Chains A and B, each alone.
Chain A
């Protein structure tokens, strides 16, 4: 081994470290904050000045009778190692393979809970993505169909009309990016904030136009 290369290796590395390891991230942060302050700070969503979430990070609404549910999440608490859905500090999936019986049981359980919460909901209506865990455990979206099948349950529990809630779903729906990439979907937090406002703010009772 040519240890005569040690000095240039050390000094070139040090020089590059100052540029790439320190100056680059700090400068990139400064410019990003200047150009896109909202996104750079994490696209936080505020309600009456309080942070109630981040636009891109899903939250656990599963089992909440007044709200639309998102996809199941398999994230574990980093402290206890137990299941804690939508724990953003430990993103991840269930890592169950397609021949795992646990996987099938989990899907059947999610299905059972959905049908128990909305009597009359038929299996044919339920999109697979609504009962299957995402890769990050933080997927913020569901399909438009997955939102629409929950309208009767939310209507019954909140007293808001079905037509009104359907209009909220249409309002929260996002078409594919630039009409070209990805899928049409509904951000669950956005939709539920509309529901929350409708319930807590009389000024928003009128159907959106």
Chain B
């Protein structure tokens, strides 16, 4: 490992580790309505907005009301994005005069950005006007993660014995107190590093070799800032954060890898502070941290060793550079990709489709479990789901009614947690099986052999996990994929979210049972170890067969120098 790789990893992981508690503390201030510095700015306009909108900030919602408010707001967002994309020609800030976005792509994109997936079946730089980028998609990249954060916050409130709160208040505060101020800061650093931020049209360059090059420009920095802060991952351009216009230096690359993680790790700290169980929060952080490190190494080692077929040509070096950008180095790309898959961002600094099979396994793993911190509040929900399943498993082993945070875990809680868990493999495996069965869908792959299956599997995994990255060789604009992926994104987003809100409320209503010496402790190495093992076993049971047919089969074929035409 090179010096720069070591420094990049140390800084990235170090900042995120240090951020757990202060960010969690700030979130706790914001979401328990304690005064913050930004109240001076936002207090008055916020009260005015609530009064005009008919929102009573002191009204506490039930779980169903909270879920309904979230879904209705997201439907409004989805409709607004769709309409803005369809009316692109008639709207301002369209210097390249792009036509209206066609309906199937507009709908797929609206669903994708409203569900915080940010799957992109289009190439931004020759499809969307600046207005569509910032006023439709940029706006969605605030509201979608803020919705997820609100749900995560409500769940933690319930766990800490508080009422769930008011969705509209949480949504607004997440935007004004957290996302917006950070987005402004990140934008300025990105511009300093060389990301364009302009409303001028594309630049025309007259090349010294005689040709011409058209250079896309736009308000790219402000778009990418919120894309990463909110774990959205929408790219201004087709190549996303691999494009030097979006990610010009190793510094911007590291900044992205860090800011994607700020909120997810902060929510773990928030959970500890709100419930008064910081030890449990650190245990969960350690479990997710171990998985993060595992994914990082799983990416780095095969990519640094390279492709054995190409390496047999006898060139200089070994590392794989296909679909990689030189300026980040293998270590920088490894950190970005691991962050993006762990925090469920889905932006890419590499061409995922050209990753070596074992390296892609890290990405698959991150999206399968979707709780290596995870994104936008939902990651914490998924972690809690696994905690409840683990507590239940341990309860079965020792023959006691399982408890978590002083509440008995009974049929209803386990059923809801299982529902939230099972939706995920059902969507991924069901969607992949259907696509493999239908000839029209099967023809959408670019690569033959086991890698073709990986392309399809990756698409459904990314959609179900609301990640949004792709093995981009898949023809995602085909009617089957735009429709199927839209469905998967919707179900994968809202079913687990509602189930977990109901679970939180159900725990809130229960009497607290006193802790005794016989109570299972949900912190420490023992519980962390069992949790880690459960996560791996449960997911291996669900996904190992398909992984064996995709990336693993491809790995062994590659070792045997077997190629497909």
**Chain A residues proximal to chain B, CB less than 8 Å:** 1-3, 5-13, 15-17, 19-22, 24-25, 27-29, 31-33, 35-36, 39-45, 47, 50-61, 64, 67, 71, 78, 86, 88-104, 107-108, 111, 123-129, 131-143, 145, 176-178, 180-183, 185, 192-193, 196
Contact = CB atoms under 8 A, between A and B. Distances in A.
B447 A138 contact: no
Given A50-B206, A138-B243, 20 more contacts: A17-B135, A32-B188, A40-B196, A56-B194, A57-B245, A59-B209, A88-B214, A90-B125, A94-B351, A95-B351, A95-B447, A95-B473, A97-B354, A100-B564, A102-B565, A107-B313, A123-B314, A128-B315, A128-B316, A138-B239
Would you call the interface of chain A mostly helix, strand, loop, or mixed?
Answer: mixed
Contact of B198 (A3, A27, A40): A40
Nearest to B449: A99
B124 to A, nearest CB: 9
B354 A94 contact: yes
Nearest to A88: B215
Nearest to B49: A15
A51 B326 contact: no
A11 B472 contact: no
B354 A129 contact: no
Contact of B213 (A12, A57, A107, A185): A57
B418 to A, nearest CB: 25
Nearest to A11: B53
A95 B126 contact: no
What band does the interface of chain B fall in when counting residues whose beta carbon is under 8 Å from A? 35 or more
Given A54-B205, A125-B316, A91 B125 contact: yes
Contacts of A33: 197-198
19 contacts: A35-B188, A54-B245, A58-B244, A59-B207, A61-B209, A92-B239, A93-B239, A97-B447, A98-B322, A98-B354, A100-B563, A123-B313, A128-B317, A131-B315, A134-B242, A136-B242, A180-B8, A181-B7, A182-B253
B196 A176 contact: no
A159 B326 CA distance: 30
A1 B316 contact: no
B213 A39 contact: no
Contact of B191 (A20, A36, A45, A67): A36
B198 A134 contact: no
B49 A12 contact: yes
B397 interface: no
Interface in B451-490: 451, 454, 471-473
Contacts of B557: 99
A111 B315 CA distance: 9
Given A20-B180, A99-B558, A91 B197 contact: no
Contacts of A125: 316
The 9 residue pairs across chains A and B that have the minimum distance between CB atoms: A182-B250, A21-B139, A95-B473, A93-B351, A135-B242, A91-B239, A97-B451, A11-B53, A181-B250
Contact of A56 (B139, B179, B244): B244
A71 B49 CA distance: 53
Contacts of A21: 134-136, 138-139, 142
B531 interface: no
